[in-house]
């Protein structure tokens, strides 16, 4: 068993002050909503709750995949909750959110991967919150990509996000049920269907990749018409997950950001504590 690396001084979790965080948690609990903030043990959840924002996870909290970096439970998911979209829309209205991120577990048990539930959720949010911008952080829709994309086109989100997560060499180790080219194809095919909708992707560093491999992923993403990019430090959720192989310096994250902008990404968020949906509303408005 390898020795765990000591966290450097630049890895700092922001703690929120005041009553805003408690209020957000109360609203989420009242609506029985799952957030990726809690399920993925996100280090920014205190800060985001303190700012009155959250990333909602629909279709339950049990994933059909078993990725080695992820803190979400895996196994046999429960049936979809029919009124979840309306309940979520009500919570978003109560929180007075101007920008929301909707993600989900992988639902390989569903014939469309959950695409219809995404659309129902988007429509419900827009009925009750017509000015709220919606970003979806979608799964790869394994075995049903074309069908899922056709369904999602019925009610496009304002931003379509799907993370490649890591470099191709590490896929079998880190996310064995997923496929790098599948992720790239999903992003490209969404752009080809809906040219006006920004596409977004992200990856974690610190899993054993090289800087050269990170650069190659950025080249691949731009070749597949991805507009927006996030890069953040992988943090091991527990001893059961793959360990951190390196802590990337803030200076290196700045280099990655400069490289990405030079490649043509329209928006780039790159830093140790950056996560896919971290300050997403600022990224799109920047």
167-194 per-position pLDDT tens digit: 999 999 998 889 999 999 999 999 999 9
What pLDDT sits at residue 27? 65
What pLDDT sits at residue 265? 97
What pLDDT sits at residue 216? 98
Q: What is the pLDDT of residues 232-266, one digit of tens each?
A: 999 887 788 888 999 999 999 999 999 999 999 99
Query: What is the average pLDDT value for the chain, to the nearest integer?
Result: 87
Q: Mean of the pLDDT values across residues 101-114?
A: 94
Q: What's the whole-model pTM score?
A: 0.89
Place of tokens 């280099």: 255
Question: Is residue 1 predicted with pLDDT exceeding 50?
Answer: no
Query: In this structure, what token pair is assigned to residue 33?
Result: 């909503």
Which of 86-100, 124-138, 205-219, 257-271 is predicted least confidently? Answer: 86-100
Cα angle 66, 278, 129; round to 5? 100
Question: Is residue 70 predicted with pLDDT exceeding 80?
Answer: no
What pLDDT sits at residue 63? 87
* CATH numbers and ranges of domains, the chain: 20-285 (3.20.20.70)
189 or 65: which leads in pLDDT: 189
Q: Which strand (E) or helix (H) includes residue 269? A: strand 267-271
Cα radius of gyration (the chain) = 18
Question: Is residue 50 predicted with pLDDT exceeding 70?
Answer: no
> From the CB of residue 224, how many other CB atoms can be counted at a distance below 10 Å?
21
| In contact, 209 and 166? CB cutoff 8 Å | yes
Closest alpha carbon to 38 in 26, 62, 56, 20: 56
List all residues 6 or more positions away from 41 whose beta carbon is below 8 Å from its beta carbon: 71, 237
| Most confident of the ranges 23-32, 70-79, 118-127 | 118-127
Q: What is the pLDDT of residues 220-235, one digit of tens each?
A: 999 999 999 999 999 8
pLDDT band at 119 (very low <50, low <70, confident <90, very high): very high
């Amino acid at each position: 068993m390898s020795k765990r690396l000591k966290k450097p001084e630049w890895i700092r979790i922001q703690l929120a002050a005041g009553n805003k965080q408690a209020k957000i948690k109360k609203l989420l609990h009242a609506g029985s909503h799952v957030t990726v903030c809690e399920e993925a043990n996100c280090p920014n959840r205190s800060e985001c709750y303190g700012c009155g924002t959250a990333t909602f996870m629909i279709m339950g909290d049990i994933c059909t995949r078993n990725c080695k970096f992820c803190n979400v439970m895996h196994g046999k998911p429960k049936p979809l909750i029919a009124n979840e979209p309306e309940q979520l829309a009500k919570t978003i209205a109560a929180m007075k959110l101007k920008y929301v991120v909707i993600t989900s577990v992988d639902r390989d048990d569903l014939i469309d991967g959950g695409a219809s539930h995404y659309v129902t959720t988007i429509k419900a949010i827009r009925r009750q919150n017509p000015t709220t911008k919606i970003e979806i952080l979608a799964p790869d829709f394994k075995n049903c990509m074309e069908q899922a994309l056709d369904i999602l086109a019925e009610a496009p989100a304002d931003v379509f996000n799907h993370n490649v997560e890591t470099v191709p060499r590490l896929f079998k180790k880190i996310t064995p049920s997923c496929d790098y080219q599948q992720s790239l194809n999903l992003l490209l095919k969404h752009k080809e269907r809906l040219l006006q909708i920004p596409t977004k992707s992200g990856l974690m560093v610190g899993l054993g990749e090289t800087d050269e491999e990170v650069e190659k992923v950025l080249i691949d993403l731009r070749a597949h018409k991805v507009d927006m990019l996030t890069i953040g430090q992988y943090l091991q959720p527990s001893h059961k997950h793959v360990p951190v192989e390196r802590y990337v310096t803030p200076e290196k994250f700045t280099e990655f950001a400069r490289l990405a902008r030079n490649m043509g990404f329209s928006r780039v968020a790159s830093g140790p504590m950056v996560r896919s949906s971290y300050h997403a509303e600022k990224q799109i408005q920047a």
